[in-house]
Amino acid sequence: MLKYRFPDGFTWGVSSSSYQIEGAASQDGRGPSIWDSFCREPNRIARDENGSVACDHYNRMESDIELIAKTINANAYRFSIAWPRVLPEGEGHVNPAGIGFYDRLVDKLLEQGIKPVCTCYHWDLPLALQKKHGGWQSRRVAELFAEYCEILGTHLGDRVDTWCTLNEPEVVLTAGYRTGVHAPGLMLDEKGVRQVTHHLLLAHGLGTQALRKSITRQGARIGLVHNSTSYSPLTESAEDISATREVFHCENSWLLSPVSHGVYPAELWRELDKNVPETEDGDLAVIATSTDYLGINTYFSTAMVSGERGEIPFEKHYPRTLMNWPVTPDTLYWTTRFVHELYGGKKPLMITESGSAWPDKPQSDNGTSVVNDLARIVYLREHLKGIHRAIEEGLPLEGYFVWSIMDNFEWSAGYEKRFGLIYIDYENQKRIPKASAEWYRNVIKWNGF
Ligand code: GCO
């Protein structure tokens, strides 16, 4: 008997991204990305680490997918495609070995009974497009992204179950173009950042249209993956919920209002004054091109109370993960609820990333290496209770993807921050399924816990 039973057909997934796990950075014709270049700049990445080898997944893909099937048996696997592996210059010549790798990956997933969920862009922009056009500062890159999506749809669109156009445009623009802590490491002024946002949103709309016309799989779905800045009411009083919803809208509407409603939020547009982005007629209609679901990535939230804003005293005492993020299990419920109320309409939602980093270390148990990541199990269990509540209340939440399937390159933090259900020993590329993998496999087997 399960205390938390999930609907039949609920999608239990795991997530990863190309630059964080593939390695093989210059193998088989892959062109350089902005992250290959960014990692070579001094003091950008912890311990000057980089993704040139990572988990060597490019050379271990078949055995990795078999391991996912055997140790977790996820229904779905969300991976991303490295644009410069398919188009080394970002445009023009398609690299046969590059698209061939993803062709084999999709076939391997289907052979193992795992639904392929494909993210077209998870931050590894071809360096050639940064040099030639200035990356997402250029409208041309949004158009080239659509051409790239059409190539993906043409080659993989008969088999991929679900497409994600962009992963987290919010993080791309904030970390890549405002604070500069991510590639391409720029610190633009407000108008520059808003123009980058507009081009990313335009890329999502144009990419959706390109996929829609090139994919042939019946019932395949296309959507955006948004990293929500999340808030949870301190109490469930009407006042706290209302105040929290208002802050949630204010912080997420710049991206989600155009995508969902075809308009930039009027108040924020007025506040921006001369810093509003240059747009062309029809842009907002393209950005609002109909999609089939909305993916939400969220890891923690800030507690809010009506009448005041800012840090709640006891928040200092929340347990924190290795990323120093507070453990706030209510996040998934409230984020799902607010996204649905504000932007979702009838659109299905999926939690496309949720997880936690801990100081995982293998121990020997009768000669076998084990990783008892009990904190991750508790994190997953408590957060899934929020998912279950949302579903019980009728919210259209159809899937959950753990970030991440395996430890990987955590961007500017490098490899120290381990998020995986599978431990990676980077000295010898050994894979060790953690206790959380076993726990999650049982959740999937029983469709609940
Ligand atoms: C993100 C990215 C992932 C991160 C993960 C942990 O959401 O920032 O999609 O690539 O590695 O979220 O920070």
Ligand 1 atom nearest residue 323's Cα: 13
pLDDT interval class at 306 (50, 70, 90) = confident
Ligand 1 atom nearest residue 408's Cα: 11
Say if residue 310's pLDDT is above 60: no
Atom 4 in ligand 1: residue holding the nearest Cα: 410
Give the per-residue pLDDT at 308.
Answer: 63
Centre of ligand 1 from the C-alpha of residue 264, in Å: 26
- CA nearest neighbour of 74 among 364, 422, 330, 424: 422
For the stretch 314-338, pLDDT in tens is 666 789 999 999 999 999 999 999 9
Range with the poorest average pLDDT among 196-210, 316-330, 382-396: 316-330
Average pLDDT over residues 297-303: 94
Pocket of ligand 1, beta carbon within 6 A: 17, 20, 167-168, 171, 227, 297, 353, 403, 410, 419
Average pLDDT over residues 348-356: 98
Torsion angle of C-alpha atoms 4, 6, 7, 12, degrees rounded to 10: 180
pLDDT interval class at 305 (50, 70, 90) = confident
Q: Which two tokens stand for residue 159?
A: 């088999």
Ligand 1 atom nearest residue 167's Cα: 9
d(CA 92, CA 5): 49
Centre of ligand 1 from the C-alpha of residue 201, in Å: 19
Centre of ligand 1 from the C-alpha of residue 419, in Å: 9
For the stretch 405-449, pLDDT in tens is 999 999 999 999 999 999 999 999 999 999 999 999 999 999 999
pLDDT interval class at 312 (50, 70, 90) = low
Q: How many residues does the chain have?
A: 449
Mutate to test the pocket of ligand 1, among 15, 226, 353 (most ligand atoms within 8 A of CB): 353
CB proximity list for 152: less than 8 A, separation 6 or greater: 81, 86, 102, 118, 120, 211, 214
Prediction pTM value? 0.97
Ligand 1 atom nearest residue 17's Cα: 10
Give the per-residue pLDDT at 184.
Answer: 98
Ligand 1 atom nearest residue 411's Cα: 11
From the options 1.20.1600.10, 3.20.20.80, 3.30.70.250, 3.40.50.9100, give the CATH code of 11-446.
Answer: 3.20.20.80
Atom 13 in ligand 1: residue holding the nearest Cα: 410
Q: Which two tokens stand for residue 246?
A: 């208002």
Average pLDDT over residues 84-95: 98
95, β-bridge pairs? none
Centre of ligand 1 from the C-alpha of residue 432, in Å: 21
Average pLDDT over residues 71-90: 98
Say if residue 355's pLDDT is above 60: yes
Say if residue 301's pLDDT is above 90: yes
Centre of ligand 1 from the C-alpha of residue 372, in Å: 23
**Where are the strands (E) in 299-370, listed by range?**
301-304, 349-354, 363-365, 368-370
Average pLDDT over residues 376-392: 98
Domain ranges of the chain: 11-446
More confident site: 310 or 91: 91
Give the per-residue pLDDT at 12.
Answer: 98
pLDDT interval class at 309 (50, 70, 90) = low
Atom 6 in ligand 1: residue holding the nearest Cα: 410
CB proximity list for 107: less than 8 A, separation 6 or greater: 159
Centre of ligand 1 from the C-alpha of residue 406, in Å: 13
Give the end-to-end CA distance of the chain in Å, rounded to a whole number: 9
Say if residue 344's pLDDT is above 70: yes
Distance set, CA 343 to CA 9, 282, 294, 381 (Å): 24, 21, 9, 27
Ligand 1 atom nearest residue 20's Cα: 10
Range with the poorest average pLDDT among 22-36, 108-122, 164-178, 293-307: 293-307
For the stretch 94-150, pLDDT in tens is 999 999 999 999 999 999 999 999 999 999 999 999 999 999 999 999 999 999 999
Mean pLDDT over each residue of the chain, to the nearest integer = 96
Say if residue 390's pLDDT is above 90: yes
Q: Which two tokens stand for residue 121?
A: 């862009």
Centre of ligand 1 from the C-alpha of residue 442, in Å: 25
Say if residue 1's pLDDT is above 90: no
d(CA 411, CA 413): 5
d(CA 317, CA 224): 34
Positions marked catalytic: 168, 353
- CA nearest neighbour of 420 among 364, 360, 369: 360
pLDDT interval class at 21 (50, 70, 90) = very high
**Where are the strands (E) in 49-142, listed by range?**
76-80, 115-121
